[in-house]
Amino acid sequence: MSHDSVEKLVKMANQIGAFWGAQKVGAEKGMAEHLRKFWEPHMREAIIAHVKHGGDGLTPLAIEAVKLLEAEKSKGAA
């Protein structure tokens, strides 16, 4: 997982979060949708696991979006 190291995923997630955070409305949902659509399943699994272990380095927005992504996955939508 060299290309998709947790550190790289955290950086990418925070960059995506910065874009969605500027949107003000629906940021968590928009970011979660982006992760679902454009990240590979193993990348999503890794960032979800990272959040389950505290989400070190992620912004609050990114953490909330990943939690939303996980909730969608639990419902079978991801």
Per-residue pLDDT band for 77 (boundaries 50, 70, 90) equals low
Mean pLDDT of 32-46: 96
Mean pLDDT in the chain? 91
Q: How far is CA 64 from each of CA 2, 3, 17, 29, rounded to the nearest angstrom? A: 25, 24, 10, 9
Express each pLDDT in 43-63 by its tens digit: 999 999 999 999 999 999 999
